[in-house]
Amino acid sequence: MMLLPKAVLAIAALAFSPANALWPIPQKISTGDGVLFIDQAVRVTYNGVPIIPIGYTPPASSHFDSRQIVQGGVSRALQSIFSTNYVPWKLHPRNSNFEPKLALQNRVQTIAIQQTGKDSASTFKPRAGDVDESYSLTVSKTGHVSITAKSSTGVLHALETFSQLFYKHSAGPFYYTTQAPVSITDSPKYPHRGIMLDLARNYQTVDDIKRTIDAMAWNKLNRLHLHITDSQSWPLVIPSLPKLSQAGAYHPSLVYTPADLAGIFQYGVARGVEVITEIDMPGHIGVVDLAYNDLIVAYEQMPYQYYCAEPPCGAFSMNSSKVYDFVDTLFDDLLPRVAPYSAYFHTGGDELNANDSMLDPHIRSNATDVLQPLLQKFLNFAHAKIRAAGLSPFVWEEMVTTWNLTLGNDTVVQSWLGGTAVKDLAESGHKVIDTDYNFYYLDCGRGQWVNFPNGASFDTYYPFGDWCAPTKNWRLIYSHDPAAGISASHAKNVLGGELAVWSEMIDASNLDNIIWPRASAAGEVWWSGNVDTATGQNRSQLEVVPRLNEFRERMLARGVSAMPIQMTYCTQLNATACALFP
Amino acid sequence: MMLLPKAVLAIAALAFSPANALWPIPQKISTGDGVLFIDQAVRVTYNGVPIIPIGYTPPASSHFDSRQIVQGGVSRALQSIFSTNYVPWKLHPRNSNFEPKLALQNRVQTIAIQQTGKDSASTFKPRAGDVDESYSLTVSKTGHVSITAKSSTGVLHALETFSQLFYKHSAGPFYYTTQAPVSITDSPKYPHRGIMLDLARNYQTVDDIKRTIDAMAWNKLNRLHLHITDSQSWPLVIPSLPKLSQAGAYHPSLVYTPADLAGIFQYGVARGVEVITEIDMPGHIGVVDLAYNDLIVAYEQMPYQYYCAEPPCGAFSMNSSKVYDFVDTLFDDLLPRVAPYSAYFHTGGDELNANDSMLDPHIRSNATDVLQPLLQKFLNFAHAKIRAAGLSPFVWEEMVTTWNLTLGNDTVVQSWLGGTAVKDLAESGHKVIDTDYNFYYLDCGRGQWVNFPNGASFDTYYPFGDWCAPTKNWRLIYSHDPAAGISASHAKNVLGGELAVWSEMIDASNLDNIIWPRASAAGEVWWSGNVDTATGQNRSQLEVVPRLNEFRERMLARGVSAMPIQMTYCTQLNATACALFP
C-alpha cells in the first residue's frame, strides 16, 4: 500500500489532465511529467528471453502456451501504439501546443516482462477467482519498463495499460508519453466482468464478435457471454443435429460453424476474455420446432403475452423423453467443443411461462407443484451432463427466485430482475452475477419494437417507450456497484456483473454505438470500483469524464465506433467547464 | 382520383407483401404481380432525346440545367438498382423461394421521361410551394416506363420511386421487380420536409453531410438545415473575417471552406435537397469572442444555467455598433455565396437569455422593455440584408413567442417548444415549420452530457435522463402530423417540419444510426400523411412496419448505417407476428 499517498495525488490531478487517461483507472498509480518516446527498436523480453515484438499472432489451437499468449499481447500493444494510435488534440484546449518537442531524446529502451507464477489449464478457462489478474508496471525516466505479474493474464492487462500511456505526435510517426516515471500496481475488484451478447434475435457477425472481444480486452473486461440461441433463431451449427441451423438460422449464411465457434473461443483466450456459451432452456427455445417435432410447446402461440415475454413463444415439453434425448445429443456434440476454452456452460432459464405447459398434451397444467419437480429433474439432468464435461453450470435467476430449484454449489446465478435480487441470492449463498436491468441493459430505452395495431393497443402503449426506458446512460451505469449494500461476508458471493445486449434492434449497423463507451463505465467500476479510496465517496464525474472522453477517442482510433459522450467543447477543457454546479 | 379504389386495395395488400415496399408510400398506387427484369441495355429518354444513363455526375457549377439534373438522377437511380441493391431475403419467410425464375424474359425496355413544365431559377432554390414536386410513373407489363412531371424535381422523385421497385437476385447480377404493371401518381403533403443538422457542437464531416443528403433524397426529404455555428465552435471559413474559424474551429482541419460549402449546396441541388444555412444569433454565438473583441457578452459565464441553456454561454452585445459592423461584413461575405443555391437564410434566435445583457456594459438590464426594441432593431437590420441578397429570413420561434418581434411576411418561423406553439403561430398568420421537441428531436433521450459533481447536483439529476427523454422513437414520430388539429385555412401556414439533430453526443461514429430510419418515419408523414385515405384513421403500424423494415435494408445496402427497428424474426413474417393484440 506504500503507493497510496502518491496515487491519491495523481488521481486528484487527473481531473485537469486528460494526459493521464488510463481506463480503467489502476488501483494504485503514480506518474511524473517526463517525456519518453517509443519506437520499433524497443527490446522486449519475457522471463529474460527476447520475444518477437511485432506482427505476431498466436497459432489457432486449443492448447495454449504462456509465451505465445504474451507474445500476442506484446504485438497488439505495440500495434496499438504504432498503428492505431491518435493525436489527442481533442483533449486539449483548441489551438494549444500540448505536444512534446521532437528533439527530446529519451526513449523506451526495454520492456522486461517477468511472470512470477506458472499458468495452468485454468488460467485459460478460469472459474471466477482461479486466476490472479494482478500486475505491476513501472516505467523509469530513462526508458526501462518492467512488468511483473503472476499470470499471463496479468501480463496482458499490464501491456494494455502500457499501450494507453502513449499518443501519436501530429508531426509524423512519433509516439510518446508525458508521464514518466510511472508506477502502477493493479488488480480487479471483481473476477467476472462481462458482456452478454444476443446472437439469436439479430445475427451478429463473427468479425463483430471478435472486434467486441478486442474492445473488451482494452477495457479489462474478461467474460463474453454469448446468448447464442433463442426462440427467434438457431444460428449454431450442431453437426449431429444438422436441421437445427438448417431450419432455424435466419439464412444459410447466418450461422456459426464449429470452426467459427472455436475461432471465437481462441480469439478470446488470446486476449484474456473467456467466452461463455448459453443455450437458453427450457423457455426461449421455440425455434427448435422448425427442425424437430414433438419437443416444443406453444411455438408461435398468440396472443403471445399469455405464453411468453415476446414473440415467438416456445418452450420444451417438460415431461418428454424426446427432450432428454435431444439435450443428450446436443450436449454430447457441443460441450466437448466448449470445454477446452471455457469453465462454464449457461443453460439459461429466464422467463419460462407456466402457461406454455397448459398446451403440453403430457402436462395440461400451469401449477407450480406440477412443474417444479419436472424442472428440477430436467435441470439435474442437464447440469450433470455439464459437470461430466468438466464445466460449471450457469443459470438465469428465475431458476431460483421463481422456481425455487436446488442448484449445485458450483452453479453461478445471473440476476437481472433488480430490486434486492442480487443481495438476496448472495445472502442465501449463491454465486451471483449482476445484470440488473435498471442499470445494465444496454439495449433498451430506444422505444418499442413490437407493432401496436390501431385501437386499444396503440392507445395503451403510446408514446411507445419500451419496458425499461429510458436509455441506461453511462453516468447511471457508473453509479452502480453490484455488491453495494451487501455485507462483506456475502459480498464475496457477488462475482461481478454482465451488461446485457439483447438484439431486437441491434445488428452490425449499431452494435459498437450501443456497447461503447457505456460498457467502459461498468468496466471501470468492476475493475477499480467507483469509490475514491481517499474520500470514500463515489468517484466524481469531474475526474471520470476526461478519462472516458479520452478513452473513447482511443477506442475510435482502434476501429470501434464508440459514440461521443460530450461535444468537443467539453473534451477540450477541464470537466468543470461542462459541469452543473448548484 | 380515378386510381383511388385500386390504391386502397394495394395498400391493404401491402400489410402482407413487403415486396411492395415503397418509402414514402405514394399518394396513389396500383400494382400488378408481373415480373420484369432490368439490365444496363435500358434506353432512357428525356423529352424524347436519349440521355447517358449510367455514370453521369452533373458538373460543379452554380448554374443548373434541367437536363444535367435529370441525367444525374437517372444515373443514381440505375446505380441504386445495379450497384447498391440487395437481395431481400430478410423480408420473406426463412428458407422460402421468393425469387422469380431467371428464365422469365420480360425486360424493362425504355424509360421515357417527359417534363411537362419548364424549370426556373426558383426550381433549384425554392421557397415553400415554388416547385410542383408531383410526378406520375407507369411501368407496363411489357417493360415500357413512363415518367411525367412538371419539374425536374418531380422527375427526381419519380426516378427514386422507380429504383425502389427493384431487387437484386441471389443468383447473380440480375435485377427484377415483381409488381408490373405499376401506376403511380404522387405529390407531397407538405412542401418543407427537412432535417436540421448541428455542425457546431461536434463537427460533422463533408462526406457525412453529403451522405445525409443522399439518404434524404431517397426519403423524399427536401430541406437540409445546417446549424453551422454556435457558442461551442465556428467551423465556417469566412474569408473577410478569417479569425472566426482560425480561433473558433475546434481544430484547423475541422472547417468548411467556401469550396466545401459550395460543394454541399450543389450536391443538394442535384438531388432536390435545398440546403439552408443558419448563423444562430444573437444568442448561441459566444465563440466569436475567441476571434473578435467587444462583440460578445457572458462568454463562458458560470454558473451557466443563469445565463444560457448549456455551456458555453455567450450572446451579442445588443447595443453595439461593432456588432452591426461585424454582421455587415459577415453577411456581405456569406450571403452572396448562399444566394445561388438557397431561398433562405436562418438567423436563429432561440434561447436568448436576458440575463446576458445584465453583464453588457452598454445595457446592464434584463428587462424586456429595454431589450425588445434592441432586438427588433437588430433583426430588422439583419433581415434587410438577407432580403437585399435575394433571400428570405428564417428564425426560431422565440423571436415571436418570447420577444414578440415583428417579422416580415416572408419570414419562416421554426417552432420547437411544443404545446400549441405551431397552432398559435399558424393562426396568427406566420409561416411555420414544426420541430416540436416532443416528437422531432432525434438527439435526446440517451442521457445527460453535462457533468454532475458529487452532492446536490448529482442527487438532483440522478438517474441522469436528459431534458427530453425518453428517446423519440419512430412510432411516436410517425404518429405526429404538424398540422393536425389546425383548421384548413390556417394549416396552409404550416409549411412542414424539420427533425433536429443537435450534436452534443453525435459525430461520425453514430450519425447514421441517430437519423435513420427515424427520419424516414417523418419523411413519409410529411410526404403522404399518416392517415389512411380509405379509413380516415392513422395508417396502421401493421401496414407501415414491413415497408420501413424493407426500406431500412435498402438504405443499408446503399451505404447508410440505419439501425434495425425489429429483429429478423419479425421482418421475415407479416407484421402481425410481432404485434400486440389485446
Q: What is the pLDDT of residues B427-469, one digit of tens each?
A: 999 999 999 999 999 999 999 999 999 999 999 999 999 999 9
Closest to B230 in 3D by CA, of B183, B308, B283, B152? B283
Query: CA–CA separation, B144 vs B108, rounded Å?
Result: 6
What is the percent of chain B with per-residue pLDDT over 70, rounded to a whole number?
A: 97
Q: Is B310 a catalytic residue?
A: no
Instruction: Kindly tell me if the per-residue pLDDT of A483 is higher than 60.
Output: yes
- pLDDT of amino acid B20: 67
Which residue of chain B has the CA closest to A580?
B452
Average pLDDT over residues A462-469: 96
Instruction: Indicate the domain borders of chain B.
Output: 4-186, 192-528
CATH of range B192-528; options 3.40.50.300, 3.40.50.360, 3.40.50.1820, 3.20.20.80: 3.20.20.80
Query: CA–CA separation, A255 vs A245, rounded Å?
Result: 7
The answer to whether the CB atoms of B462 and A470 lie below 8 A apart is no
- Cell numbers 461520425 correspond to B508
- pLDDT of amino acid B53: 75
Which residue of chain A has the CA closest to B545?
A451
Residues of A in contact with B90 (CB under 8 A): 250-251
Length of chain A: 582
- Per-residue DSSP letters for A417-430? S-TTHHHHHHHTT-
Closest to A134 in 3D by CA, of A89, A184, A181, A91? A184
Closest to A221 in 3D by CA, of A525, A481, A436, A577? A525
- pLDDT of amino acid B525: 98
The answer to whether the CB atoms of B303 and A581 lie below 8 A apart is yes
Which residue of chain B has the CA closest to A201?
B567
The answer to whether the CB atoms of B475 and A510 lie below 8 A apart is no
Which residue of chain B has the CA closest to A543?
B453
Residues of A in contact with B449 (CB under 8 A): 565-567, 570, 578
Q: Return the SS3 of A449.
A: coil
Which of the residues B300, B580, B581 would you substitute to probe the A interface, choosing the one with the greatest number of A C-beta atoms within 10 Å?
B580
Of B94, B504, B580, the CB nearest to A567: B504
Closest to A340 in 3D by CA, of A125, A153, A152, A128? A125
Assess whether the previous peptide bond of A361 is cis (omega < 30° from 0): no
Of the residues A133, A300, A351, A524, only one is catalytic, namely: A351
Query: CA–CA separation, B460 vs A582, rounded Å?
Result: 10
Q: What is the pLDDT of residues A297-343, one digit of tens each?
A: 999 999 999 999 999 999 999 999 999 999 999 999 999 999 999 99
Cβ-count burial of A500 within 10 angstroms (0-12 exposed, 13-18 middle, 19+ buried)?
buried
- What's the DSSP call for residue B409? T
In one-letter notation, the amino acid at residue B312 is P
Give B373→chain A minimum CA distance, Å.
33
What is the percent of chain A with per-residue pLDDT over 70, rounded to a whole number?
A: 97
Give A98→chain B minimum CA distance, Å.
13
Range in A58-67, A268-277, B381-390 the model is least confident about: A58-67
Q: Which residues pair with A173 in a beta bridge?
A: none
Written as tens digits, the pLDDT of chain B (582 aa) is 233 333 333 333 333 344 468 999 999 999 999 999 999 999 999 999 999 878 888 888 889 999 999 999 999 999 999 999 999 999 999 999 999 999 878 999 999 999 999 999 999 999 999 999 999 999 999 999 999 999 999 999 999 999 999 999 999 999 999 999 999 999 999 999 999 999 999 999 999 999 999 999 999 999 999 999 999 999 999 999 999 999 999 999 999 999 999 999 999 999 999 999 999 999 999 999 999 999 999 999 999 999 999 999 999 999 999 999 999 999 999 999 999 999 999 999 999 999 999 999 999 999 999 999 999 999 999 999 999 999 999 999 999 999 999 999 999 999 999 999 999 999 999 999 999 999 999 999 999 999 999 999 999 999 999 999 999 999 999 999 999 999 999 999 999 999 999 999 999 999 999 999 999 999 999 999 999 877 888 899 999 999 999 999 999 999 999 999 999 999 999 999 999 998
Instruction: Kindly tell me if the per-residue pLDDT of A164 is higher than 60.
Output: yes
Which residue of chain B has the CA closest to A582?
B457
Instruction: Kindly tell me if the per-residue pLDDT of A105 is higher than 90.
Output: no
Chain mean pLDDT for chain B: 95
Residues of A in contact with B463 (CB under 8 A): 473, 475-476, 479
Same topology between domain A4-186 and domain A192-528: no
The answer to whether the CB atoms of A233 and B569 lie below 8 A apart is yes
Instruction: Kindly tell me if the per-residue pLDDT of A109 is higher than 60.
Output: yes
- pLDDT of amino acid B11: 38
Q: Return the SS3 of A2.
A: coil
Closest to A317 in 3D by CA, of A331, A299, A300, A339? A299
Instruction: Kindly tell me if the per-residue pLDDT of A17 is higher than 50.
Output: no
Length of chain B: 582
Cell numbers linked to A484: 453495494
Which residue of chain B has the CA closest to A91?
B250
- Cell numbers 471483481 correspond to A190
- pLDDT of amino acid B7: 36
Give A97→chain B minimum CA distance, Å.
12
CATH of range B4-186; options 3.50.50.60, 3.60.20.10, 3.30.70.360, 3.30.379.10: 3.30.379.10
Chain mean pLDDT for chain A: 95
Query: CA–CA separation, B163 vs B85, rounded Å?
Result: 9
The answer to whether the CB atoms of B95 and A565 lie below 8 A apart is no
The answer to whether the CB atoms of B452 and A475 lie below 8 A apart is yes
The answer to whether the CB atoms of B582 and A456 lie below 8 A apart is yes
The answer to whether the CB atoms of A475 and B453 lie below 8 A apart is no
Give B290→chain A minimum CA distance, Å.
10
Residues of A in contact with B566 (CB under 8 A): 449, 504-505
Query: CA–CA separation, B220 vs B163, rounded Å?
Result: 13
Residue A497: band (very low, low, confident or very high) from pLDDT cuts 50, 70, 90: very high
In one-letter notation, the amino acid at residue A252 is P
Positive or negative, the Cα torsion across B501, B505, B511, B516? Answer: negative
Average pLDDT over residues A507-536: 95
Give B482→chain A minimum CA distance, Å.
16
Query: CA–CA separation, B338 vs B62, rounded Å?
Result: 10
Query: CA–CA separation, B158 vs B135, rounded Å?
Result: 6
- pLDDT of amino acid A20: 67
Query: CA–CA separation, B380 vs B396, rounded Å?
Result: 15
Q: What is the pLDDT of residues B367-389, one digit of tens each?
A: 999 999 999 999 999 999 999 99
Q: Which long-range contacts (CB under 8 A, 24 or more apart) does A44-50 make?
A: A44/A74, A44/A110, A44/A111, A44/A113, A45/A110, A45/A111, A45/A112, A45/A113, A46/A70, A46/A71, A46/A74, A46/A113, A46/A115, A46/A155, A47/A113, A47/A114, A47/A115, A48/A112, A48/A114
Q: What is the pLDDT of residues B329-342, one digit of tens each?
A: 999 999 999 999 99
Size of interface A-B (CB pairs under 8 A): 268
The answer to whether the CB atoms of B469 and A474 lie below 8 A apart is no
Give B196→chain A minimum CA distance, Å.
17
Q: Residue A143, by phi and psi: left (phi above 0), alpha (psi -120 to 50) or beta?
A: left
Closest to A220 in 3D by CA, of A521, A549, A562? A521
Residues of A in contact with B556 (CB under 8 A): 509
Instruction: Kindly tell me if the per-residue pLDDT of A4 is higher than 90.
Output: no
* List of E strands, A26-143: 28-38, 43-46, 49-50, 110-115, 135-139
Q: Return the SS3 of B412.
A: strand
Residues of B in contact with A554 (CB under 8 A): none
Q: Do B345 and B335 touch, CB atoms closer than 8 A?
A: yes
ipTM of this predicted structure: 0.95
Give A391→chain B minimum CA distance, Å.
32
The answer to whether the CB atoms of A541 and B512 lie below 8 A apart is no
CB atoms < 10 A from the CB of B240, how many? 10
Positive or negative, the Cα torsion across A99, A104, A105, A106? Answer: negative
Which residue of chain A has the CA closest to B559?
A509
Of the residues B99, B133, B300, B351, only one is catalytic, namely: B351
